[in-house]
């Protein structure tokens, strides 16, 4: 099946530069697109890499570099839009429509405790288990292998992918998505030494996750000691993230893969943590702060600050440190040269003193004679 380029442009309210009657057979990323495909160019500078028949490009003149102005020569037909990623998503789905989700209700191979309360249009796939006194809101989907323990409450429109585990009393807000293998509400890593052995401290709290949150595959969020560990509305958490007991994560945070956050840490709103950030316990991170990749955070971070490195320090300070480190080989060579020069000066000075001493000795011997 092919679609004229002009029809694709209509789907996204785009403006065509070039031949609108070109037949487009598919949509693909720039490095995979070939003749007959349409691709995405978020910068017109990448046009030279394009092997596709057409491309979706941004409307700003700064990005287009004049390629779409009248009279411009361009080997690739263009669809000019304001938001290239949104437009290309629409076009991609035109050629690769998603498989429609079928409502299945509660599958006969799912295990649901009689005391659980499920809305009429909840889907529970085979192999899922739902414990006592669980409440699940309208339109929620529970995939295979997911385990929901006693007393959990799940809002409407939630999706739990295969293999998710919710420990008892976990609360999940509306429209939240939790991906495969995530464990929510496990025991925190808290022990005390009693008679020479490590005894687990109380794990009597729970986890409360807000609305419109997304939690990546393999992520773990521990329950609080006495109160809740909380995740604010709109926060997005990547795969393989660890959030320890008693943490309070604010609204609309972005937490990238392999971040580890120790217990009782709090964040404000719109905090960004890049990959492999490590945060020690009882740290407060202010709203709008940005923690660079692999930052080791051992102290509070003010609102709006940008910190990097181990230990994490402000961006400017870290750049100065890195610049100094880059100069170390040159400084080492200069130090060697200076040391060599000082050694020569010392030798020359010693020789001069010896010569002067010899002259004075000769003068004294002459006077004595």
**Domain match, 153 and 29 both:** no
Q: How far apart are CA 182 and CA 184, in angstroms?
A: 6
- Domain stop point among 70, 95, 120: 95
The tokens of 302 are what?
């003010």
Q: How far apart are CA 241 and CA 366, in angstroms?
A: 90
- Alpha-helical runs (H) found in the chain: 5-11, 61-64, 84-95, 315-326, 328-368
pLDDT tens string, the chain, 369 residues long: the values are: 899 999 999 999 999 999 999 999 999 999 899 999 999 988 777 777 788 999 999 987 444 544 444 444 457 899 999 999 999 999 999 999 998 878 899 999 999 999 999 998 999 999 999 999 999 999 999 999 999 999 999 999 999 999 999 999 999 999 999 999 999 999 999 899 999 999 998 899 999 999 999 999 999 999 999 999 999 999 999 999 999 999 999 999 999 999 999 999 999 999 999 999 999 999 999 999 999 999 999 999 999 999 999 899 988 888 888 888 888 888 889 899 999 999 889 988 888 887 887 777 767 766 666
Residue 16: CATH number of its domain: 3.40.1390.10
* pLDDT reported for residue 219: 98
* pLDDT reported for residue 66: 46
> Which of 143, 147, 179, 245 does the annotation list as catalytic?
245
Instruction: Specify whether 357 is catalytic.
Output: no
**Domain match, 186 and 65 both:** no
* pLDDT reported for residue 368: 66
Listing DSSP states for 26-62 in one string gives EE--TTT--TTEEEE-SSGGGGGG--SSEEEEE--HH
pTM for the model stands at 0.83
The tokens of 18 are what?
């070039």
Residue 45's domain spans which residues?
3-95
- Domain stop point among 48, 63, 95: 95
**Domain match, 55 and 124 both:** no
What is the count of structural domains for the chain? Answer: 3
The tokens of 228 are what?
């809740």
């Amino acid at each position: 099946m092919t679609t004229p380029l002009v029809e694709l442009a209509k789907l996204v309210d785009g403006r065509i530069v070039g031949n609108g009657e070109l037949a487009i057979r598919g949509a693909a990323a720039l490095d995979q697109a070939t003749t007959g495909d349409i691709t995405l160019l978020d910068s017109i500078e990448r046009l030279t890499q394009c092997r596709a028949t057409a491309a979706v490009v941004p409307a700003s003149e700064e990005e287009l570099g004049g390629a779409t102005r009248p009279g411009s020569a361009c080997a690739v037909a263009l669809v000019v839009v304001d938001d290239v990623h949104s437009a290309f998503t629409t076009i991609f789905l035109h050629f690769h429509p998603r498989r429609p989700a079928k409502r299945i209700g509660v599958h006969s191979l799912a295990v649901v405790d009689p005391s659980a309360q499920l809305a009429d249009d909840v889907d529970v796939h085979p192999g899922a288990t739902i414990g006592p006194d669980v409440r699940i809101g309208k339109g929620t989907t529970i995939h295979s292998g997911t385990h929901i323990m006693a007393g959990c409450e799940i809002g409407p429109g939630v999706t739990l992918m295969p293999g998710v585990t919710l420990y008892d009393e976990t609360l999940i807000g509306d429209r939240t998505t939790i991906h495969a293998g995530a464990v929510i509400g496990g025991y925190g890593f808290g022990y005390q030494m009693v008679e020479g052995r490590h005894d687990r401290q109380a794990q009597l709290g729970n986890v409360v996750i807000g609305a419109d949150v997304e939690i990546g595959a393999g992520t773990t969020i521990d329950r609080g000691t006495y109160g809740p560990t909380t995740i604010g509305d709109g926060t997005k958490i990547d795969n393989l993230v660890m959030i320890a007991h008693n943490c309070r994560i604010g609204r609309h945070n972005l937490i990238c893969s392999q971040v580890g956050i120790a217990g009782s840490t709090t964040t404000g709103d719109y905090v960004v943590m890049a990959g492999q950030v490590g945060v020690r316990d009882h740290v407060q991170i202010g709203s709008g702060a940005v923690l660079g990749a692999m930052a080791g955070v051992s102290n509070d971070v003010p609102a709006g600050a940008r910190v990097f490195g181990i230990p994490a320090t402000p961006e400017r300070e870290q750049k100065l440190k890195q610049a100094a480190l880059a100069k170390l080989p040159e400084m080492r060579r200069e130090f060697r040269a200076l040391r060599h020069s000082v050694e020569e000066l010392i030798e020359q000075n010693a020789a001069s003193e010896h010569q002067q001493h010899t002259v004075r000795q000769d003068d004294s011997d002459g006077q004595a004679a």
